Amino acid sequence: MANVPQDLKYTKEHEYLKPAGEDGVFYVGITDYAQGELGDIVFVELPSAGATYDAHQTFGTIEAVKAVSDLYMPVAGEVVEANAALDANPAVVNSDPYGEGWMIKVRVTDAASLDGLLDAAAYEALIG
């Protein structure tokens, strides 16, 4: 069974939003379920700081041995930081998706976009 932390928010596309300890700033990454479905992750393409996106817009790609998938922005916001450590070790997304495997930090620019996210119970229902 996939690990679904109860204190995070989720998207139907299997990204999560985790508070970064600064008002309106969140870590974004893929869920434990998503990394398990993808398999061994070999490459992650992420945007630069300062890039802005609308909710549900593609912000990068993740490549596994068996597939390449788009990454979707959970909320409207501006990228504050990309996780440069993933350049050297993308497999950390497999081993620690909610910790060191985060992908970007984003500052929410439209608080209303948070309303469309799933809580842990709704995400668990989605993935069965």
Q: Which pLDDT band holds residue 16 (cuts at 50, 70, 90)?
A: very high
Give dist(CA 5, CA 118) in Å, integer: 12
* Model confidence, pTM: 0.96
Fold designation for 9-123: OB fold (Dihydrolipoamide Acetyltransferase, E2P) (2.40.50)
From the CA atom positions of the chain, what is the Rg in Å? 13
Cα of 79 vs its chain's centroid, Å: 12
Q: Give per-residue pLDDT as tens, 22-64.
A: 999 999 999 999 999 999 999 999 999 999 999 999 999 999 9
Residue 1, pLDDT above cutoff 80: no
Give dist(CA 35, CA 90) in Å, integer: 11
Q: Which pLDDT band holds residue 66 (cuts at 50, 70, 90)?
A: confident
Q: What angle do CA 120, 19, 107 make, to 5 degrees?
A: 120
Amino acid at 106: V
Any idea which residue has 């996939």 for tokens? 2
Q: Give per-residue pLDDT as tens, 93-116.
A: 999 999 999 999 999 999 999 999
